[in-house]
Amino acid sequence: MRKGGKAVRLLMPGPSTLRYVARIRRAGLFDPVHYQAQIAGLNWLCRAFPMRHYVLWGERMGLEPHPDFSPGAYLGLNPDVAEAGLPPLHHFLTLGRGEGRGTRAQPVESLPPIRTTIPRFDPRRPRARFAIHLHLYYPDLWPEFSERLDRLDLSFDLYVTLTWRGPETEWLADIIREAHPRAQVFPVANRGRDILPFLRLLNAGAFDGYEAICKLHGKKSPHRDDGDAWRRHLVDGVLPGKALWTSLSAFLADEDAALWVADGQRYSVRKWWGSNRARTDALLRRVELDRSDTDFDFPAGSMYWMKPLLLGMIRALDLTEDLFEPESGQTDGTLAHAFERAIGALAKAAGQEVRQTSELGRAVAPVLRTPRYVSAFYLPQFHPVPENDAWWGPGYTEWRAVVEAVSAFPGHLQPARPADLGFYDLRLTETMAAQAGLARGAGIDAFCVYHYWFGGRRLLDEPMNRLLARPDLDFPFYLCWANESWRRNWDGLSGEILREQDYAPGFEEALVRSTLPYMADRRYQRPDGRTPRFVIYRPEDMPAPVQNVARMRRAWREAGVGSVELGAVSFHVGGSSDVPENLFDFWIEMPPHGLVDDSAYLFGGSAGNLLGEAGPAPGFAGLIYDYPAVARRSLDKGYRAGLPEKTIAGIMPSWDNSARRRARAHIARGANPATFRSWLRDLQRERLAQSYRGELFINAWNEWGEKAMLEPSRTFGHLYLDILAESTGQASCKPEVAVHG
């Protein structure tokens, strides 16, 4: 019966079997001689219908239909096909061939080991405007690339990584240095294809300070019949001879272009996921991003020009050698293949795109409003005071809490660590001057410095008092009375009171007297050119806001200051008193306050845990919400209609008070320089025209305990400042790096 049943299936196959057989026949991927040689004693009926035999039984047995296709190797190279239980040849003919998937494992050379060492690069070294990185696995391709580089009418720095093969690699390095004396050449182990060598240089600071980087590699693609032609097409596309400078200038001028690739090399991930979906997701989680939108483009072929923002986001992924698989001839499914897709997602998160050569110079620049005045909240903490010693322990500053923050979920970017300025002490006034220099370079006009005044008692005032004694330092500022009571849980709303705000009779005049030394300083800001500015953080907490504000204004006039431009924060939690909208000259939108609604919550909202396995560890009792959702709500017409008419549009680089509240933290997941840029450009496009006097307010410059900071960090470097400089028009005013021809 069993043999009879097989005979019937061979002689009378079903429609799906016949369609599969017809597809194989049309593809020409069946060699009956090769197939039958793999099965000793195959009976005459099976020999009469070998293609049917393969479809019905041979494929599951791992038999090869053709010398150029191995079902076992195809499933090994493409684990997504194996996990889905799909017939390997059928998948290849319907999808895999179009996606360029390999059909046989490629032989892997046995190369000698080497410990790869790339030193840190001096950021002060002379640099050209551009750099080219070339990775060579095949030494014989150097003459081809050398000839191409020699023809370039462009000043550039050259970085070359060579897969280590022993003495012949040393000889090739000498040849390269002789042809390009300024070239920096590094032997590297055979791991991570061309991606890991590129990352080694990037992580060591090699590409810091360049306007754009061109990434090339010696590609032969043995799994493709057109490997050499494909390589030359990729190189021709990004180094187009005499048209290079024209194309490169157009790429640089296009603010929404993150990558430039050869024509035909912008692939839609929807069609080209391959077996890389899960690994791409894991990569993006390293910067708190999700692949929520599966329709983005990525640069295929791994040769392209790239700008600093994307380089910085890649560096923030913190990819190291141990994460890359040993080389075994894979043609898909590796970290290197996932990286190729992930950088497309990073570009899209920033509101940027992949441009092809023929598209350069054709994009229509968006109409973006430049902010007329930019302020950032400034925290004068980060120095010891007796009160904090008593409340939190001797020597306490908020840096202690910052470094003790704990990552709560996969990819959670905690703890945050400062970069350029280090764990500073604000009693060193030169630090404040350095902060002001960084802010000025990004287009920030003033720091809005918190003024901690409690019924006549000042706290955290030493940095500003020392600043007044140094009139030679450029530090533009104005004050914001932080009139919240201090509480042990840091939120100003609940918990044990550490320092209570006192609204005793006559507090208005006393508060005004405390501001006079600062308003008399030449650096105190008058954004309208005439009137000093002062901000009240929680006006609704005052006992009688209308009368309290009137007494303040009168006290400033009587003190000889004259009129004061008085503003208030548009806070999301009501206080003990109603505040008329017209009581203040302007209001400040202060994200995330008032911008997080239930639809934004990823964890802790009414829908529970929407993060699944990517959610926080057991015991986390805080809230996690989506940063891009908060950004979108800030543009919502219904939300905007509820703001006071004279409101300065606000933005936050991030928000995460894990350092202060630990397992009860409120976290804006997905906050990074890419999503910050996207939000900022949306504000420029849709909000700044209606913002009070066209101003922009940033929360904050240095709130490290709430991870709301623009200051350089170890994770993102200067990216936040660079993005702000782009929006304020300061990017073109940066000091030029040294150039050699």
Three-state SS sequence of 207-221: CCCCCEEEEEECCCC
CA distances, 50 to each of 8, 14, 45, 70 (Å): 15, 16, 9, 17
Domain positions in the chain are 2-96, 130-269+299-322+355-359, 373-733
How many Cα atoms are found within 13 Å in the side-chain-facing hemisphere of 727?
A: 26
Top pLDDT among 738 and 14 is at 14
Q: Show Cβ contacts of residue 159 under 8 Å, excluding neighbours closer than 6 positions.
A: 131, 132, 133, 134, 183, 184, 185, 186, 201, 206
CA distances, 207 to each of 201, 211, 299, 343, 354 (Å): 7, 9, 20, 17, 20
Amino acid at 324: F
Distance (Å, rounded) from C-alpha 20 to C-alpha 9? 14
Query: What token pair was written down for 82?
Result: 């194996």
**pLDDT tens by residue, 6-54:** 777 878 888 888 898 899 888 888 888 888 877 767 777 788 888 888 8
> May I ask the CATH architecture of the domain 373-733?
Alpha-Beta Barrel (3.20)
Q: What is the DSSP string of 624-638?
A: EEEHHHHHHHTT-HH
Handedness of CA 416, 421, 425, 427 (dihedral sign): negative
Please check the confidence at residue 534 and state whether its pLDDT lies above 60.
Answer: yes
Please check the confidence at residue 737 and state whether its pLDDT lies above 60.
Answer: no
Q: What is the pLDDT of residue 397?
A: 94
Distance (Å, rounded) from C-alpha 282 to C-alpha 279? 5
Please check the confidence at residue 345 and state whether its pLDDT lies above 60.
Answer: yes
Distance (Å, rounded) from C-alpha 183 to C-alpha 176? 7
Q: What is the pLDDT of residue 311?
A: 98
Please check the confidence at residue 443 and state whether its pLDDT lies above 70.
Answer: yes
**pLDDT tens by residue, 583-602:** 999 999 999 999 999 999 99
Please check the confidence at residue 420 and state whether its pLDDT lies above 90.
Answer: yes
Note whether 66 and 31 are within 8 A (CB): yes
Distance (Å, rounded) from C-alpha 218 to C-alpha 137? 6
Q: What is the pLDDT of residue 734?
A: 44
Length of the chain: 741
Distance (Å, rounded) from C-alpha 216 to C-alpha 61? 41
Please check the confidence at residue 494 and state whether its pLDDT lies above 60.
Answer: no
Top pLDDT among 24 and 659 is at 659
Q: What percent of the chain has pLDDT over 90?
A: 70
Whole-model pTM: value is: 0.87
CB-based burial of residue 145 (10 Å sphere; 0-12 exposed, 13-18 middle, 19+ buried)? buried
SS3 content of the chain, % helix, strand, coil (to 5): 40, 15, 45
Q: What percent of the chain has pLDDT over 70?
A: 94
Specify the CATH number for 130-269+299-322+355-359; select among 3.40.50.1970, 3.90.550.10, 2.40.33.20, 3.30.2000.10: 3.90.550.10
Please check the confidence at residue 610 and state whether its pLDDT lies above 50.
Answer: yes
Judge whether 130-269+299-322+355-359 and 373-733 match in fold.
Answer: no
**pLDDT tens by residue, 664-677:** 999 999 999 999 99
